[in-house]
Amino acid sequence: MSRPKAWMAWSSGKDAAWALHVARESGEFDILRLLTTVSKEYGRVTMHAVREELVAAQARSLGLPVHFLSIPSPCPQEMYDTAMRSALARASAEGVSRVIFGDLFLEDVRAYRVERTHEAGLQTVFPLWQLDTRVLAREMIEGGLEAIVTSVDPKQAPREIIGHAFDGRLLASLPPSVDPCGENGEFHTFAWNGPMFSEPVAVVRGEVVERDGFLFTDLLPLPPPLSGASGELRRRVRRRGVL
């Protein structure tokens, strides 16, 4: 019996990465493609501010092609709806019947995804829905997921976590008001290593900027083939993936 074909909504962050891992481990779906929304002007993932080329590197390590949904920034809701309908129509044309999301507990976000997806004749899958985020965050870290905080809302979370690894020290530093997975928009991440990847996506931390009330750390792809790098640098990349 053939498995239902699926697309994975891919933000480049830890929740999407872990949801993909859980969905793959279940063996229930034939996941064909990633779907990522990027700003047309900047070529970056919306809110995460991750470069499009890094998402492409993630996709290669995941062994999946990626469909980039390009939208203006800012994007009127009607224009976003139109772009999403077009992407879901393409998914349907590929024989897809499921779209997998990494959402955790925001009911309004889930309702919107269900409405758009069902409108296209597809079904939604939420592998992480309503899991205890304190437990989930620890499970991700202990399961080998490695990620970097790429954006922070300083009105909700400490400014100091920008560019920080998503690890036990980060979780211990968060005040009780901050969700451990940042589901309320407190922070966003870039996943660069873990059981869902065939190899680490090596990046270099760039400058930190403040824009529109948010903090962003730029991540740059590590230039291949590292032929001019020192032996110690190459060892650090192989060991850690992030400089």
Give per-residue pLDDT as tens, 88-122.
Answer: 999 999 999 999 999 999 999 999 999 999 999 99
What whole-number distance in Å separates Cα of residue 191 and Cα of residue 149?
A: 9
| pLDDT reported for residue 48 | 81
| Overall average pLDDT of the 69-87 stretch | 89
Q: Are 205 and 242 in contact (CB under 8 A)?
A: yes
pLDDT higher than threshold 80 for residue 165:
yes
Which pTM was predicted? 0.91
Instruction: Please give the DSSP secondary-structure letter assigned to residue 213.
Output: T
Instruction: Please give the DSSP secondary-structure letter assigned to residue 205.
Output: E
| pLDDT reported for residue 40 | 83
| pLDDT reported for residue 72 | 85
* N-terminal to C-terminal alpha carbon distance within the chain: 46
- Under the banding of pLDDT at 50, 70 and 90, the label for residue 228 is very low
| pLDDT reported for residue 120 | 95
**DSSP three-state, residue 151:** strand
pLDDT above 70: percentage of residues in the chain: 91
| Overall average pLDDT of the 166-194 stretch | 97
| Overall average pLDDT of the 199-206 stretch | 93
pLDDT higher than threshold 60 for residue 227:
no
Residue (of 229, 175, 153, 201) closest to 14 by Cα position: 201
- Of 78-82, 87-91, 226-230, which one has max mean pLDDT? 87-91
| pLDDT reported for residue 241 | 52
Q: Is the peptide bond before 154 cis (omega within 30 degrees of 0)?
A: no
Q: For the chain, what is the total number of helices (H) and then of strands (E)?
A: 7, 9
Residues 6+ apart with CB under 8 A from 47: 11, 151, 185, 188
| Overall average pLDDT of the 57-77 stretch | 92
| pLDDT reported for residue 238 | 46
Report the mean per-residue pLDDT for the chain. 91
| Overall average pLDDT of the 127-136 stretch | 98
Burial class (CB in 10 A: 0-12, 13-18, 19+), 1: exposed
| pLDDT reported for residue 71 | 87
**DSSP three-state, residue 146:** strand
Q: Which residue has the higher pLDDT, 4 or 71?
A: 4
- Under the banding of pLDDT at 50, 70 and 90, the label for residue 59 is very high
| Overall average pLDDT of the 195-223 stretch | 93
- Of 72-86, 91-105, 229-243, which one has max mean pLDDT? 91-105
Phi, psi of 218 (to 5 degrees): -80, 135
